[in-house]
Amino acid sequence: MLEEIYRVDETVKRSIKVTKRIIAIAFIFICTSIAWAILGGTIFSRTYDSAAASDNSVTSTWGAPQDQAPPTASFTHIVQRKEESTENGKRIVKTIDEAVTTPLPLESSAIDVALDLEHRQKGLLWYSTYKVNFAGNYGFRNPSDKEESVFFKLNFPTAKAIYDDLIFTVDGTPVTIKNEGNAASGSFKVGAGATARLAVGYLSQGLNEWRYSFGSNDVAQVRDFGLKMKTNFKDIDFPDNTLSPSEKHESGRGWDLVWSYKNLVSGYQIAMVMPEKLQPGPLAGKISFFAPVSLFFFFFIMLIITTMRGIELHPMNYFFLAAAFFSFHLLLAYLVDHVSIHAAFAISAAVSIFLVVSYLRLVVGLHFASREAAIAQFVYLIMFSYAFFLKGFTGLAITIGSVATLFVAMQVTGRIRWANKFSLAPAEEATAELT
């Protein structure tokens, strides 16, 4: 009788001990998750609080998104018109000189554009900056029956940029140009009914995207139009409501793209969005916010393995393991300021795994630390975190890993009698016998 009471008492004590241990581990998990939430918020704050200043800095030193429109050509005539009025009961007729501007129709456009992408980092963000070599040859027809002094004008794509090696010629003859506002202009005599060939070109630099509009915010008509674009990057992207190229061919590190139209009526533009690099700040923030999932899986695997093998890990051991996990994200958050995101990730992963393995080597043994624990940490911390580098496949990769973990855990523990492992059922049976 006394022996049975003793067994019940020991079983109850063990059950209470196991429950307290699980509660302590859960408390450690919750506290670490709160720390990760604070770290993630800090990363996003550091990223976006300085983003406005960084944007202005990059724009001032490199340029803004560019939107090039075709040049215009026109001539002006002074036309006299009569205006009648009455003063003091008398009819007065005045002759007034009025300037009438006649635009020249754009007959053809032959454009060559080369985009050279160069990413630049400011703070925790990468910016897609580029150099552009623009050259255009435009045909304007003089509709007048006499020679006219035609005024040609090229509006630059943005005021926040520099324009080097500027070319401005008509029929091969350089034109004396004036820089007024954000445009270059000049005059040249064009014969009656003749077509003048205006050649313009420049070297410049911009940010994020390059556009070519057809000179109207609404529907525009262009004739005999051709634009050839050469890029030094493969990841080409066209924004919504823009025209896709008529032809495209891979060339070296990039693409040769062609837009060719005989007589186009469209309200769309031609545009190219520069590819983005992985953003260190937002990526590190997302990984930190997701970290509790990684730690949950790691603790889950540790509990199963230690329970199956009879290894006892105190809640303080779990506390140090959680701290080693947290060190990965803390190092990553501040290393990305100084090295590339891939190097920062590799260094942080190596440090975190070293902390866990070197610690569990003392607590349990080198075999368990270097195999089960190290593999579990590599899968659930390193691989799960690296899934955020797989743009568009992050959720799928983590889902596959989670399902695979569940399958393995179910197969390995299917024959285990958990009631015996946690000594819960024996206690109930002993109590039943006493009653």
The DSSP output letter for 388 is G
pLDDT of residue 420: 67
Residue 55 pLDDT grade (very low, low, confident, very high; cuts 50, 70, 90): low
Q: How far apart are CA 261 and CA 95, in angstroms?
A: 47
Q: What Cα–Cα distance (Å) separates residue 322 from each residue in 143, 317, 325?
A: 80, 9, 5
- 304 and 357 together in one domain: yes
Report percent pLDDT > 90 for the chain: 48
Q: Residue 193 to residues 128, 146, 158, 170, 319: CA-CA distances in angstroms? A: 45, 8, 33, 16, 87
Q: Report yes or no on 55 lying in a domain.
A: no
Name the residue with higher pLDDT: 198 or 82: 198
In whole angstroms, give the CA distance from residue 256 to residue 113: 10
* Residue predicted with more confidence, 221 or 298: 298
Q: Which residue has the higher pLDDT, 71 or 84?
A: 71
The rounded distance, in Å, linking the Cα atoms of 226 and 212 is 12
Q: Which amino acid is at 401?
A: G
Q: Is 58 inside a domain boundary?
A: no
> Residue 424: its pLDDT value, please?
43
Instruction: Answer for the pair 425, 431: CB distance below 8 angstroms, yes or no.
Output: no
Can you count the helices (H) and strands (E) in the chain?
11, 16
Asked if residue 57 is part of any domain, the answer here is no
HEC sequence for 339-358: CCHHHHHHHHHHHHHHHHHH
Q: Which amino acid is at 284?
A: A
Please report the pLDDT score of residue 197 as a whole number.
94
| Residue 195, strand partner residues | 141
| SS3 (DSSP) at 302 | helix
Determine which of 74-88, 199-213, 281-295, 328-342 has the lowest per-residue pLDDT on average: 74-88
Is residue 127 located within the same domain as residue 227? yes
Q: What is the mean pLDDT of the chain?
A: 85
**pLDDT at residue 177 in the model:** 87
pLDDT at res. 79: 72
Q: Which of 218-222, 323-327, 387-391 has the lowest mean pLDDT?
A: 218-222
Q: Is the pLDDT of residue 428 over 70?
A: no
Which has the minimum average pLDDT: 55-64, 72-81, 146-155, 180-189? 55-64
Q: Are residues 137 and 253 in the same domain?
A: yes
- Residues 37 and 153 reside in one and the same domain: no
Q: Residue 427 above 60 pLDDT?
A: no
Q: Going by C-beta distance under 8 Å and a sequence separation of 6 or more, which residues neighbour residue 145?
A: 192, 193
Distance (Å, whole) CA 29 – CA 33: 6
59, part of any domain: no
Instruction: Give 423's DSSP letter.
Output: T
pLDDT of residue 184: 92
pLDDT at 2: 53
Where do we find the tokens 């890993």? 401
Confidence of residue 392 (pLDDT cuts 50, 70, 90): confident
Band of the pLDDT at 54, cuts 50, 70, 90?
low
Residue 147 DSSP SS3? coil
Task: Give the three-class secondary structure for 336.
Answer: coil
Q: Do residues 33 and 124 share a domain?
A: no
- Rounded-to-integer distance, Cα 159 and Cα 206, Å: 11
Q: What mean pLDDT is predicted for residues 135-157?
A: 92
> Domain ends where: 244, 273, 302?
273
User: Does 54 fall in a domain?
Assistant: no
Q: 267, 222 in Cβ contact below 8 A?
A: no
**pLDDT(429) > 50:** no
**Alpha-carbon distance 143 to 419, whole Å?**
97
Q: Are residues 98 and 78 in the same domain?
A: yes
Does residue 310 lie in a domain region? yes
> Of 273, 291, 312, which residue sits at a domain end?
273
Judge if 10 and 33 occupy the same domain: yes
Q: Tokens standing for 94?
A: 């005045």
Mean pLDDT calculated for residue range 405-418: 82
Q: In this model, does residue 434 exceed pLDDT 60? A: no
Q: What integer pLDDT is reported at residue 14 of this predicted model?
A: 66
What is the tens place of the pLDDT at every residue in 23-53?
Answer: 999 999 999 999 999 999 988 888 776 655 5
Number of folded domains that form the chain: 2
Q: Write the CATH number for 209.
A: 2.60.40
Quick check: 287 pLDDT over 80? yes
Q: What is the pLDDT of residue 52?
A: 57
Residue 10 has pLDDT above 70, yes or no: no
Strand partners, 112: 135, 228
Same domain, 38 and 86: no
Confidence band for 217, pLDDT divided at 50, 70 and 90: low
Whether 40 and 106 share a structural domain? no
Q: Do 84 and 24 belong together in one domain?
A: no
pLDDT above 80: residue 65? yes
- Domain with 228, as residue range(s), is 66-273
Under 8 Å between Cβ of 171 and 197: yes
Structure tokens at 336: 């990305």
* Residue 369 in this model has a pLDDT that exceeds 80: yes
Both 171 and 42 in one domain: the answer is no
Q: Where are the alpha helices (DSSP H) in 261-368?
A: 280-309, 315-335, 341-363, 366-368
From CA 364, how far away is CA 139, in angstroms rounded?
A: 82
> Has residue 354 been placed in a domain?
yes
- Chosen domain end from 245, 273, 301: 273
Tokens of 298: 């790691």
Residue 425 has pLDDT above 50, yes or no: no
Same domain, 256 and 299: no
Domain assignment present for residue 411? The answer is yes
Residue 88 has pLDDT above 50, yes or no: yes
Identify the residue with better confidence: 428 or 12: 12
